[in-house]
C-alpha cells in the first residue's frame, strides 16, 4: 500500500490514508492524555512511597529504576507483538500491564511489603513502554515530511495528564483514607484507573490499526526477528539511538533524586509535586515546537540545541542548594532539553531505517533508552549518597559529550559526501 506523501495521482488512496492518519492521531492523543495521568502520578509518589515502605532514602532511587527497567523489559516484546498482531493489541497490553502494576503497588504499600511495591513499579513501567511506542504509532501512516510533527503531537498530548498526575497527591490522600490504604498509595489508585481507561480506549477506538498485522486472509507473512534489526543500527540510526539513550539518562538521573533533594531541604510534598509537574510540562508542552524544528531545521541541529539546554539544566540544578525556585527552573530546563533531543532523535531514527524493520529498530531504541535511564537512576542514588546532588548533576552533564561528537562527525561525513558527488 502506498504511504501518504507518495505520488499525488493516487488521490483517492492518499485521501483515505490521510483520513486514517487523522483518526489514529486523535485516538492516540486522547489515550496519551488519560494514560499520562497515571504516569505522572507514579513519577511523583513512587520515590516517596518506596522511601516510606523501606524506611531508607537509599531505596528511593530504586522507584525510578524499577519504572524505567519495566519499560526497558517491555519494549522489544511490545514491538514484536506490534509487528505480528498490530499496534492496537501491543499498546493495549502495555496499558493493562501498567494498571496491574499500580494495583500491586497499592497492595504492597498496604501490606508494607517492599518486594510487592518494587514488582508493582516494575509493571507500572510497562505503561511507559506503551507511551513511547504510541509516538511511533503516530508515524506509521504519516507523510515523510510530517514525521516529526506527528510524533511530537502525540508526545505533547502526554502533557495534560502528566502535569495533572503529580498534583493528585491531595485528592489521593483523601481517597486513600476512604479506602483504608496509606496516604501516598491513594495517588496510585488514580494511576491504576487511568491506565485501565487508556487501555480500554486504545482497544476499542484505535481503528484502523496504523501498523497492520502480518497475518492476513489465513496467510502469515514472515516477521523479521530482532536480530535482523541490529545491522541497521549504524550511521544516523546509531546517532539517533545514542542521543535518545543518553538524553534520557541525564533526565532520569537528575529527576529521580530531585524529590529526595527537595524533601531534605524542607520542601512540602505539594511543592515537590508542583516541581515534578512543571518538569513534565517542560518535557512535553513544547513537543510540537521540537517536532516542527526537527522537520524544518533538521534533526541534527535540534539535537545539538537539546544538548546545550541539558547542559544548562544540570548547571542550574546542581547549584540550587535549598532554593526551591532554582531547582524548579533547573527541572524545567531539564525537561526542555530532553524534549528536543528525544523528539529529534526519534524523528531521525524513523527516517533513517527501512519500513520492514522500522518497528523493531524503534523497539531497540526504546530498550536502549530505558536501560540507560535505569542505569542513570541506579547510579544517581549512589552518587548522591557519596558526594551529593551537585556531583550527580556534574556527572550527568558529561553525557552530552558523546552525542555532540557523533552529531558533528555525522554532519562532517555528510558534507564530505556532498562535496565528493559534485
Place of cell 516510606: 52
User: pLDDT at position 193, please?
Assistant: 94
The pTM for the full model equals 0.76
Cα dihedral 45, 114, 63, 37 sign:
negative
Contacts of 300 (CB under 8 A, 6+ apart): 344, 348, 407, 410, 411
Residue 141 near residue 4, CB atoms below 8 Å: yes
- Per-residue cell: 223: 516477521
What's 216's DSSP letter?
Answer: E
Predicted confidence (pLDDT) per residue in 157-215, tens digit: 877 776 677 677 778 888 889 999 988 888 899 999 999 999 999 999 998 899 877 54
As to burial, measured by CB atoms within 10 angstroms (0-12 exposed, 13-18 middle, 19+ buried), residue 292 is: middle
Residue ranges of alpha helices (H) inside 86-216 are 87-110, 114-137, 147-164, 169-179, 185-205
Give, for 330, the enclosing helix (H) or strand (E).
Answer: helix 324-351
**145 half-sphere exposure, CB direction, 13 A CA radius:** 3
> For each of the chain's 422 residues, which pLDDT tens digit applies?
444 444 444 444 456 778 888 899 999 999 999 998 888 777 768 878 888 888 776 676 688 778 888 988 898 899 889 988 899 999 999 999 999 999 999 999 999 999 999 999 999 999 999 998 998 898 888 877 788 888 888 888 877 776 677 677 778 888 889 999 988 888 899 999 999 999 999 999 998 899 877 544 444 555 566 677 788 888 899 999 999 999 999 999 998 888 888 888 878 877 887 888 788 888 888 889 999 999 888 999 999 999 999 999 999 999 998 888 999 999 999 999 999 999 999 999 988 988 878 888 988 898 899 889 888 888 888 888 888 889 999 999 999 999 999 999 987 776 665 545 55
User: What pLDDT sits at residue 303?
Assistant: 97
Tell me which residue has cell 562532517.
Answer: 412
Cell of 287: 513537543
Q: What is the pLDDT of residue 422?
A: 53
Cα 71 to Cα 128: distance, rounded to the nearest angstrom: 6
Please give the backbone phi and psi of residue 285, each rounded to the nearest 5 degrees, phi first.
-60, -35
- Residue 200 CA: distances (Å) to CA of 157, 193, 378: 18, 11, 33
Neighbours of 115 (CB within 10 A): 10
- Residue 168 is predicted with a pLDDT of 77
Rounded-to-integer distance, Cα 41 and Cα 186, Å = 10
Q: Which helix (H) or strand (E) holds 4?
A: none
For 17-211+228-417, give the CATH class.
mainly alpha
Which candidate, 322, 313, 328, places its Cα nearest to that of 275?
Answer: 328
**Cα–Cα–Cα angle for 69, 71, 74, nearest 5°?**
110
**How far is the C-alpha of 187 from the C-alpha of 170, rounded, in Å?**
8
- Quick check: bond before 208 cis, omega within 30? yes
Between CA 247 and CA 376 the distance in angstroms is 10
CA 222 – CA 417 distance, rounded (Å): 36
Domain boundaries, the chain: 17-211+228-417
Amino acid at each position: 500500500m502506498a504511504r501518504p506523501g507518495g505520488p499525488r495521482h493516487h488521490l483517492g488512496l492518499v485521501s483515505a490514508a490521510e483520513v486514517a492518519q487523522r483518526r489514529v492521531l486523535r485516538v492516540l492523543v486522547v489515550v496519551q492524555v488519560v494514560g499520562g495521568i497515571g504516569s505522572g502520578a507514579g513519577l511523583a509518589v513512587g520515590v516517596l512511597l518506596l522511601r516510606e515502605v523501606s524506611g531508607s532514602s537509599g531505596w528511593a532511587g530504586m522507584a525510578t529504576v524499577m519504572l524505567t527497567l519495566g519499560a526497558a523489559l517491555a519494549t522489544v516484546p511490545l514491538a514484536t507483538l506490534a509487528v505480528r498482531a498490530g499496534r492496537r493489541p501491543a499498546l493495549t497490553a502495555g496499558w493493562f500491564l501498567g494498571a496491574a502494576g499500580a494495583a500491586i503497588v497499592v497492595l504492597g504499600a498496604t501490606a508494607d511489603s517492599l518486594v510487592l511495591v518494587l514488582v508493582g513499579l516494575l509493571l507500572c513501567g510497562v505503561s511507559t513502554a506503551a507511551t513511547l511506542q504510541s509516538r511511533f504509532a503516530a508515524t506509521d501512516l504519516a507523510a515523510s515530511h510530517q514525521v516529526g510533527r506527528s510524533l511530537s503531537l502525540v508526545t505533547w498530548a502526554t502533557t495534560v495528564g502528566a502535569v495533572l498526575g503529580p498534583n493528585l497527591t491531595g485528592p489521593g490522600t483523601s481517597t486513600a483514607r476512604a479506602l483504608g490504604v496509606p496516604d501516598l498509595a491513594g495517588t496510585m489508585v488514580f494511576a491504576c484507573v487511568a491506565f485501565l481507561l487508556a487501555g480500554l480506549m486504545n482497544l476499542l477506538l484505535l481503528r484502523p490499526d496504523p501498523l497492520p498485522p502480518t497475518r492476513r486472509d489465513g496467510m502469515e507473512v514472515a516477521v523479521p526477528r530482532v536480530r535482523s534489526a541490529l545491522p541497521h543500527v549504524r550511521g544516523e540510526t546509531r546517532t539517533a539511538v545514542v542521543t535518545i539513550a543518553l538524553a534520557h539518562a541525564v533526565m532520569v538521573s537528575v529527576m529521580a533524586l530531585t524529590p529526595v533533594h527537595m524533601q531534605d531541604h524542607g520542601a512540602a510534598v505539594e511543592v515537590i509535586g508542583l516541581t515534578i509537574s512543571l518538569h513534565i510540562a517542560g518535557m512535553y508542552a513544547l513537543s510540537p515546537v521540537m517536532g516542527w524544528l526537527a522537520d524544518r531545521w533538521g534533526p541534527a541541529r535540534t539535537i545539538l540545541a537539546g544538548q546545550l539546554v541539558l547542559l544548562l539544566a544540570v548547571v542550574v540544578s546542581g547549584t540550587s542548594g535549598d532554593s526551591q525556585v532554582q531547582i524548579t527552573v533547573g527541572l524545567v530546563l531539564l525537561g526542555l532539553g530532553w524534549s528536543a533531543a528525544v523528539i529529534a532523535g526519534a524523528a531521525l531514527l524513523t527516517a533513517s531505517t527501512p519500513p520492514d524493520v522500522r518497528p523493531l529498530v524503534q523497539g531497540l531504541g526504546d530498550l536502549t533508552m530505558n536501560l540507560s535511564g535505569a542505569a542513570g537512576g541506579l547510579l544517581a542514588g549512589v552518587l548522591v549518597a557519596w558526594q551529593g546532588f551537585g556531583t550527580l548533576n556534574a556527572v550527568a552533564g558529561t553525557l552530552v559529550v558523546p552525542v555532540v561528537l557523533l552529531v558533528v562527525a555525522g554532519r562532517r561525513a555528510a558534507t564530505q559526501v556532498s562535496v565528493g558527488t559534485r
